[in-house]
Structure 1
């Protein structure tokens, strides 16, 4: 891994390729002078389906490394059929990505990058498995509920943005533990891979501020209230790096009408003119 390269991990199926393109286009606007390698772990996307993404990244002079996972990768994991296989890929990326790759920044496709990611990419993880943010809101009631549900004693981390130390991941994360956790907590899992991440590995996570690195686009008023008026739109555009469109509807869907929908659609329109 070269020091001047940023390595981005995405795990999507064919239905999320277009949102993925928009996300990566938004990232490119703030990293035009940087070398980026995009690692796409998938199960069944065809080369024909990947062609528009390859073309787009070619315009950026970025590399796309697509890794197709074969069925035998999950041998001995009976629970895998309950959930989309893509949910396992980010948890098990240490076993999938090349051994000479030591860190990767995982990004969900349903987000916009609106400032530089370099401070996050270059962050010292201090031995932690990964860095991630929590979405606690104003009252923080959900943390207590999640602690009861998952038998944890720490904040509940969102898995949509994760800076991962792959060497630590290779040491700590394995499919057997994930499968056993899913079997044990099956009826309590609301967001399976995120719940598993928190239950098994929450103590190894370094917390990063969500208002900068994983801003929940649904909760503008909550952020504004929590900061006593500081985190307004002007502050956000200057300081926030990642806008995350959690929940539904997504900003590319007709029913979406949030404070940030127009910003998303503008990025999508700009990309179409490339």
Structure 2
């Protein structure tokens, strides 16, 4: 019998207890048989058990920590992401997943347990009140959800034994051993991510921002480049010591008063860390596959090797596949879809 996990972070002890593993005694959990809706998550097939290779250690130092948000609307994407990570990993038993949600959703929790009976995971509550008054309306409603801002508070929510984390969005799949990304040398930086210096950095901020030297001077002495916050390696200790949560919040307060950007939680990250991160290979975030944030039109793959496919933007592969109007790249996501009613993988 798995021991109950002490609820850490912002979770009330009176709310519920969650085991660190979904099954350790060989007992298979029952399947939740409910149709999909925002409040009734879909039924998923059980994933196979993945075992460590001979080179894998079994000490706490060998643990790889992954953080993701969790809610019913994106659960299908989360399942595919987790499945892809485990399938391509050399040491799948060394993963410890840290899921962040806004509220206790028993069906969502049951779906994870029944789909991944051997998964080591914790679930923490993110208190949406922390950002409720700080969020400014953006160009897409999904970007305004409080859970979209949870990545800012990882250092406050995660337990002390987590020193480093890979943060991942739910609309991606990994097609390489993510242990390679975990081992990146941060070289003293607080964050590592692929940088895209060819992108027009100015478009992420309004004319008001660039015309006000008190604001735009924040980039003086830096050569800021765009990076996507859906794939990040974060030194949690350095983040905490440097007070980066407060720094991001300060820019969110400016945005609330003066409207200096248009896109959710991304721009304040750029304001604080743009030009001061450890750049990793672009193969670790083939982003933008969901199209732009307004129409979500189809996009093709960027040239070069690929380790991670990311459907950032409005279009999500599971919705386009179900509508029978998929983009070509959506068929690269389909093999990782564990939703029981899916037929696209057979077509």
TM-score range, shorter chain: 0.7 to 0.9
1:93 aligned residue (154, 159, 176): 154
The equivalent of 2:255 in structure 1 is 185
- Per the normalisation by structure 2, the TM-score is 0.65
* Separation in 1, partners of 2:89, 2:245: 35
Write out aligned runs for 1:16-35 (5 A). Answer: 16-31=74-89, 33-34=91-92, 35=94
Write out aligned runs for 1:136-147 (5 A). Answer: 140-146=198-204
Please give the root-mean-square deviation of Cα atoms over the aligned residues, in Å.
Answer: 2.7
* Deviations 1:41-98 (CA, angstroms, capped at 9, x unpaired): 111141232111122222xx221100013466x29x7315864221332111011101
The answer to whether the aligner puts 1:64 opposite 2:121 as a matched pair is: yes
Deviates more, 1:258-267 or 1:13-22: 258-267
- Per the normalisation by structure 1, the TM-score is 0.81
For structure 1, the 5+ residue unaligned runs are: 225-230
Q: Could you say if the C-alpha distance between residues 174 and 209 of structure 1 is closer, same or farther in structure 2, counting changes exceeding 3 Å?
A: closer
Q: Could you say if the C-alpha distance between residues 191 and 145 of structure 1 is closer, same or farther in structure 2, counting changes exceeding 3 Å?
A: closer
Write out aligned runs for 1:252-267 (5 A). Answer: 252-254=318-320, 257-267=326-336
Higher strand proportion, which one?
1
For structure 2, the 5+ residue unaligned runs are: 1-58, 138-143, 211-215, 290-298, 343-347
Q: Could you say if the C-alpha distance between residues 262 and 205 of structure 1 is closer, same or farther in structure 2, counting changes exceeding 3 Å?
A: same
* Deviations 1:75-126 (CA, angstroms, capped at 9, x unpaired): 9x73158642213321110111011210010011100111111111011111
1:200 aligned residue (259, 268, 272): 272
* Separation in 2, partners of 1:199, 1:122: 26
Q: Is the 8 A contact 2:239 2:245 kept in 1?
A: no
Q: Is the 8 A contact 2:76 2:339 kept in 1?
A: no
Q: Displacement of 1:173 after TM fit?
A: 3.6
* Separation in 2, partners of 1:144, 1:43: 33
The answer to whether the aligner puts 1:125 opposite 2:186 as a matched pair is: yes
Instruction: Specify which structure has the bigger relative contact order, considering alpha-carbon pairs within 8 angstroms and separated by 6 or more residues.
Output: 1
Runs (4+) off by over 4 Å: 147-150, 269-273
* Separation in 1, partners of 2:152, 2:128: 17
Q: Is the 8 A contact 2:190 2:277 kept in 1?
A: yes
The answer to whether the aligner puts 1:244 opposite 2:310 as a matched pair is: yes
* Deviations 1:116-154 (CA, angstroms, capped at 9, x unpaired): 111110111111111011345xxx352243477573341
Q: Displacement of 1:2 after TM fit?
A: 1.3
Q: Could you say if the C-alpha distance between residues 269 and 262 of structure 1 is closer, same or farther in structure 2, counting changes exceeding 3 Å?
A: farther
* Separation in 2, partners of 1:253, 1:27: 21
- How many pairs align? 251
Higher helix proportion, which one?
1
The equivalent of 1:7 in structure 2 is 65
